[in-house]
Structures are given as C-alpha cells and as structure tokens.
C-alpha cells in the first residue's frame, strides 16, 4: 500500500493543458445515471495484453534483447496471441505502454518511435498486428512529459491524435504525469478525447484521469464517462498479493461512488492482470481472475506469453469466467459483505443470472468452511424461487438445484476464491 501510494503521488506532477471548448456528442446507455462516450467502442470490457508490469521501461536491448521494449517483443507477442488461442477467447488488443518513443519529436512536431528499438516504425508494427487479426494500443501522456520522461502530448493533442490514427492505432492509454494543475489535467483529457473522435478512426480511449484527481478531490465520474472508455482509479498493480488486495480494498471502499459509473462504453479499470508471473500463489491468481470478472474490469494481461505455464494460460483463457467479465448486461459487481475475513462479492448478469465470488482473506491456517443463505444473494432474487448453481473456480463443478430457502456450504483456500454462477429457474 505504501509503495502504491508513493507511486500515485509521484505521478501527480505538472500538467499544462489546453481547455477543450468543443461540444461532444453523447449517448445514454441502459445504465442508470451514466452517459457514455459515443464512439461505439468498449461495449464490453477491453481484453488484451499490455507490457508495463512485466517489462516496465527496459530499453537496454544489448544486455536484454528478449525483454526490452521493442518491436521484436510486440511482434513475438502478436504471433502468440494469434497462434495460442488468445484472440479466440477475446484478447485482441496488443498494447504498448511507456518508453516506446524517441527522446524528441520529429521536425514536424510529431511523436516518433525510438529508431533503434522500433526500426520499422509504429505504422509497420500496426500493420503486422492487424495482419494477425489483432488491434494495436499505444501510450502517451496528457502533460509535458510521460511518466518515464519522454515527450508528452501537452500542446500537441490534435497532432498526436492524427499521428496515432495515421499509424493505424486502435487504443490509446493516456497517462497523467507532469501536469501543472488538476484543472488543466481535466482539460487535457477532454481535448484528447475530442481530437481522437475528430480523426474518424475508432480508437479506444483509456484514461487515468480519476487516478490523478483523487489525491485532491472526488472525481466527477459522470463527466469522466462522457470522454473515456475506461479509467484508472488507483495506483499501478504490482506482482504481489498485497498490491492485488489493496486494489480490491480500495474498490470495495469506494464502490458507492464508482460502480454506477460503469457500463457499456465505459469501465472502471483496476489495472493489469499479473497472472502467470512470479508474485501470486495459484489461489491468489484465481482470486484476481475471479474478482476482475466480477468488477467488469478490462482484462489486460501483463506477462510473458512465451513462457507462461499451462495452468496460468488455462485460467486466463477460461471461457466461463471470461463470459462473466464480458456479460452484455454491463453491470459492475460489488462487495456484498465482509465477515470474519471472508468477503462475498456479486454481479448481476444477463438472463436473470448472477455471479458470486467468496474470497478467503485469512493468510494463516488451511481451507475454511463458509455457509451462506441463498436468499441473501442477488438482492433476494438471484435464486427466487430456485436456481441451478455451478462452481466455476477453482474447478468447474455443477453443484445442482437450490431453492430460495436453501443454504450453500463451501470451502475456500487461504487468499483463494470460489466463483459461482447462479441461473434462476422461473416459476411457470
């Protein structure tokens, strides 16, 4: 938590952004009180791969040619996303994060890729990614510099939006470092949203706007949703249980503010999936996958697909869990209750179904038994008058028929999660 907060404060820096005074077309989706960005994108949470947590800002291709931020890395990941079943289950966005740029813009003021690490340029990389049936994401910053010190977009919003569109980019992750004030930060995020729409190219807009607002005041999520397809609220995820747990704690503590903002076209983003890396136990990886599905979160992996274990790959490609994440009703789930270090989360799904996750936060001892009243789930209607319950994680098991008055007893490993799907049986 300390490192996360230090990361957050260190990134809320100078801005210097131009106010956007244009009108933006909006559309109302079937989410109470939530207006959505009208670009027709991210109608379900974005799925893909993002380099940052695993590969960070490694620019030393001489010493570490297989793990530096380079076109070689992204082409290899594109090959694997195409050949190893990733795109078939929905992971279609291959996203570049910070440290791809050259230190200066070109003579016409345009961003350019580092000529050593990306010798063929971003347009060539985009063409390659598209040839694999995938989409390319890229990174920029609303302020004067990126968080790693590369050229920022302040003063160049329209130029950069046009450059990204000309290159064939499909997603922009827009960070918030080096801004002079939160007001200018907000203006910059609005300006870039309008600039992207003006290009005529379909570009998913991933913001970090509320992340940089929270240290100063509560963000206006109605406004943020008008301009962004998804938005980060909390500090960067690390490859650790403490980091994942901190994100879940923050989300549940602020769920009254953020849950209603999410829906088709706009999503809360709790950051990358670190499944398949080094820091999480198997049970903790199950917890991250299950809770990111409950939270209707973008599923952006940050791992090395060249060396991922079969177990981690199977979890990330679990079609039942992905179906919960991608459910077209588009309602974000929430924490229902916490008692004796066990949390119960639930999410409404299409066709009157519900997803329920039970998390054992106790980090000592063995598996714990937990019993809950079926009538307490889904606001009392998930299993009224009866339902079929299937356990999806850790191992798919059909638990059978339950009536509204029934109890369900299960066992949950320490830091692990049991994920259920409840399919209501309607009375005739």
Q: Is 146 exposed, middle or buried (0-12, 13-18, 19+ CB in 10 A)?
A: buried
Closest by Cα among 142, 115, 151, 136 to 203: 136
Closest by Cα among 253, 183, 250, 269 to 220: 183
Provide CB contacts within 8 A for 281, sequence distance 6+: 241, 415
Helices (H), 295-403: 310-316, 319-325
- Return d(Cα 233, Cα 78) in angstroms, integer: 28
| Largest interatomic CA distance in the chain | 72
Closest by Cα among 180, 194, 187 to 209: 187
Q: 170, 175, 283, 327: which one is catalytic? A: 175
Q: 114, 160, 187, 236: which one is catalytic? A: 236
Closest by Cα among 303, 305, 350 to 324: 350
- Number of residues in the chain: 428
Between vectors from CA 246 to CA 141 and to CA 364, what angle results, nearest 5°?
150
175 is catalytic: yes
Place of tokens 């082409």: 75
66 is catalytic: no
Catalytic residue set: 175, 236
């Amino acid at each position: 938590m300390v490192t996360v907060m230090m990361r957050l404060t260190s990134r809320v820096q100078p801005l210097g952004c131009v106010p956007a005074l244009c009108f933006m077309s909006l559309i109302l989706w079937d989410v109470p009180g939530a207006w959505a960005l009208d670009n027709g994108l991210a109608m379900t949470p974005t799925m893909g791969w993002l380099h940052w947590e695993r590969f960070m800002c490694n620019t030393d291709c001489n010493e570490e040619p297989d793990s530096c931020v380079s076109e070689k890395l992204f082409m290899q990941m594109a090959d694997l996303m195409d050949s190893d079943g990733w795109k078939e289950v929905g992971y279609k966005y291959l996203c570049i994060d910070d440290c791809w740029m050259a230190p200066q813009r070109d003579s016409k003021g345009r961003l350019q890729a580092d000529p050593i690490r990306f010798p063929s340029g971003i347009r060539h990389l985009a063409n390659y990614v598209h040839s694999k049936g995938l989409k390319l994401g890229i990174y920029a910053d609303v302020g004067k510099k990126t968080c790693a010190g590369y050229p920022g977009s302040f003063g160049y919003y329209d130029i950069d939006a046009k450059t990204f569109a000309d290159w064939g980019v499909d997603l922009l992750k827009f960070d918030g470092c080096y801004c002079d004030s939160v007001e200018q930060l907000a203006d910059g995020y609005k300006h870039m949203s309008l600039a992207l729409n003006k290009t005529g190219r379909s570009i998913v807009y991933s913001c970090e706007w509320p992340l940089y607002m929270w240290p100063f005041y509560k963000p206006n999520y109605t406004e943020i949703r008008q301009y962004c397809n998804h938005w980060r609220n909390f500090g960067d995820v690390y490859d650790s249980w403490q980091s994942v747990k901190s994100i879940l704690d923050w989300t549940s503590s602020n769920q009254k503010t953020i849950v209603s903002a999410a829906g088709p076209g706009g999503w809360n983003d709790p950051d990358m999936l670190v499944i398949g890396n080094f820091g999480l136990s198997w049970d903790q990886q199950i917890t991250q996958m299950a809770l990111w599905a409950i939270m209707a979160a973008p599923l952006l992996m940050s791992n090395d697909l060249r060396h991922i274990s079969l177990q981690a790959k199977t979890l990330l490609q679990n079609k039942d869990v992905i179906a919960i994440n991608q459910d077209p009703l588009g309602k974000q789930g929430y924490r229902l209750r916490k008692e004796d270090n066990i949390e119960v989360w639930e999410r409404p799904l299409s066709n009157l179904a519900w997803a329920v996750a039970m998390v054992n936060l106790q980090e000592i001892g063995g598996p714990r038994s937990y019993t809950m009243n079926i009538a307490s789930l889904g606001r009392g209607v998930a299993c009224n008058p009866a339902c079929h319950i299937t356990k999806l994680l850790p191992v798919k098991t059909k638990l059978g028929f339950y009536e509204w008055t029934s109890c369900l007893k299960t066992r949950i490993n320490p830091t692990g999660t049991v994920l259920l799907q409840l399919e209501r049986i309607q009375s005739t």
